[in-house]
Structure 1
Amino acid sequence: MTTAPDSRVVHVRAPGKINVFLAVGAQADDGYHDVAIAYQAVSLYEDVRVSDAPDFSVALSGSVDLARVPTDGSNIAIRAARLLAARTGYRRGAHIDIEKHVPVTGGMGGGSADAAAALVACDTLWGTDVGRDELLVLAAELGADVPFALTGGTAIGTGRGDQLSPALAKGSFEWVLVLSDAGLSTPEVYRELDEHRARHAQDIFPARVAPTVDVDVLQALRAGEPRMLAEVLSNDLQAAALNLEPSLAGVLELGESHGALAGIVSGSGPTVAFLAADVNAALQLQIALSATRHTVVRATGPVHGARVISG
């Protein structure tokens, strides 16, 4: 399809996420792992603005270190825009401005949020109107966490993490996030998990092929009770992340000693997420951890997925 150039700028905001529960299955023959994830979208956002262009390009700004974010065709937002164009027959391009506030390679799905936002923004700008179901199909082609960045809220992900079902969640949860200047590669963390399991095969139960989210996690989310959720936070990747970045253990101890209900490495890390009892407790924890010269932000969840702000 060929359309006239559009002078609008479409602004879409998409959230980062915390995995309040992450179970990783045994490594399959293809090298991948099935997972069971309880996702929660949180109020740390990527702002993506898309405008018409003859080809595809991206520009970056924001409050986080951008050194590891590619600006060529490998950027996931450009890949998302190209995928939508190919699927719909759109023959022009897009210039994509990304204002990043989710840590890069921090285990919070910032790249996935960029991809989800680019899909929604380009679909709006180009008038391709593919519909939410088709956007979810395209999102799954881009990465396991991209569909959740589209939907937001609280959800259960199975398979590679992209088979989503909504989870009932009451109220909101207060999080304090300790960011890291270093990044951890998700494939490297999974490799370390496999090696960790092999090293400790005599001491730990074998991983299930198809893991599930614990019922206690679903009950805590449904109740909206942070103390209940704190008791069941779990991440199979945490041991591997700690092996690769031992300093994270000290961060976890520090947060819990300053009043956090519980702490968890977010996804593949190295961001550490602390659950607080309420807003006042989160503020006090943020102040205490900031005084130790860590980079600290507060966030609330759950929040909406990728949505149009203007344009």
Structure 2
Amino acid sequence: MSERTVRAPAKINLHLGVGAPREDGFHPLVTVYQAVGLHDDVTVREADDWSVEVAVADWMAGVELPPVEDNIVTRAADLLAAHHGVPRRGAVHVAKAIPVAGGMAGGSADAAAALVALDRLWGTGTTDEDLLALAAELGSDVPFALVGGTALGTGRGELVERVPDAGTWWWVAVPAHAGLSTPAVYRHFDVMVPDASAQPPVPDTLLAALAAGDVDALAAALHNDLQAPALDLRPELGALIARGEEAGALRGLLSGSGPTCLFLCRDGDHAREVAAALDAGDPGDHPHPTVLVANGAVSGAHLVEYA
């Protein structure tokens, strides 16, 4: 039986600039994405019908997942099948290790992986250009999940261009058990920043820090326009960021619209030290018992070959 497995990474936003809402309701974005070493694996097998099974890492036990018909993997399959005029068939297994509803684009990673895996399974030979166009229809973060690495995102974030990145960056990620609604965060941004610019500027200082591989300059340049509204809605996340910086992180930052918090560290050993400090003590003392370490930048959605 034919089978393909594709691995896709979590994303973080090193910079997220948000403009005033456009006439279509979307906010123009200027963002710098980085793919980090937390992955979901999507495995597809030949089948006469369609099915999607999702397994989550132990630490995510109890999270709510959408039904099969609403799953972004099913929507990706529908788009790809319609593009080529082929039937939607296959048995899909998604192994999730990216936080669910955590601001790290786990659903987008699954969609990107499904596009690549099903294209191989069905033998449809989709061009890179068409894959990116289909990805953009699925969501703003899906094209980046295909591209990976470090990239500048514009438009709604769906227009992606790789940027020079000379560093190996180490992060601690702390997911929250309770999600945070992305639309609610954007609505709160509109209330808090009624005079947002029509087009956010490109973060030249941050891009220069990446090109130079300068971790201290990168720490100083990290920025997220959605952080203030998200922390206003969930003040405990601000306390967590302060706790991580007190533990020695170079900088704490909210991932996208949250609620996952990120901490930039100097190297792998430093990241493990910060993670251990955040993980120490009685779990009842804080509502964030899971602490993850990841490096970046890593590849976008790619076929996994087993020896």
Fold shared by both chains (TM-score > 0.5): yes
Q: Is 2:25 aligned against 1:31?
A: yes
Mapped pair 1:46 → 2:40: yes
Distance 1:92 1:242, change over 3 A: closer
Please list the CA deviations of residues 185-212 of structure 1 after superposition, one character each: whole Å capped at 9, or x if unmatched. Answer: 21111111112224xxxxxxx3221213
- Percent of counterpart pairs with the same letter? 49
Question: Could you report, residue by residue, the CA deviation over 1:118-173 in whole angstroms, capped at 9, with x for unpaired residues?
Answer: 00000001100112111000000000000000000000000000111111001210
Alignment of 1:94-109 (within 5 A): 94-109=90-105
* 1:297 is the counterpart of 2:286: no
**Cα–Cα, structure 1 residues 179 and 100, in superposed 2: closer, same or farther, change >3 Å?**
same
1:66–1:24 CA distance, 2 compared to 1 (3 A): farther
Aligned to 1:173: 169
Of the candidates 261, 265, 276, which is equivalent to residue 287 of structure 1? 276
- Give the aligned residue type for 1:15: P
- Give the TM-score taking structure 2 as reference length: 0.94
Aligned to 2:76: 80
- Give the deviation of 1:261 after TM superposition: 0.2
Q: Given the alignment, which residue of 16, 19, 28 partners 2:10?
A: 16
Question: What count of residue pairs does the alignment treat as equivalent?
Answer: 298
TM-score (norm 1): 0.93
Match of 2:305 among 296, 300, 310: 310
Contact persistence 1:65–1:104 (CA under 8 A): no
Change (3 A) 1:92 1:257: closer
- 2:208 alignment partner, one of 219, 222, 228: 219
CA contact (8 A) 1:22 1:236 kept: yes
SS at match of 2:28: strand
Q: Is the 8 A contact 1:54 1:92 kept in 2?
A: no
- Separation in 1 of the partners of 2:16 and 2:203? 10
C-alpha distance in 2 between matches for 1:19 and 1:243: 19
2:266 paired residue among 277, 287, 294: 277
| Maintained 8 Å contact 2:77/2:88 | no
Question: What secondary structure sits across from 1:165 in the alignment?
Answer: strand
Q: Which of 164, 175, 178 is 1:182 aligned to?
A: 178
For residues 33-63 of structure 1, give each alpha carbon's deviation from its aligned partner in whole angstroms, at most 9, with x where no partner exists: 0000000000000010011223322111121
The verdict on how the C-alpha distance between 1:119 and 1:66 changes in structure 2, with shifts beyond 3 A counting, is farther
For structure 1, the 5+ residue unaligned runs are 1-6, 199-205
Q: How does 1:257-272 map to 2 (within 5 A)?
A: 257-272=246-261
Q: CA RMSD in A?
A: 1.2
Give the superposition deviation at 1:89.
Answer: 1.1
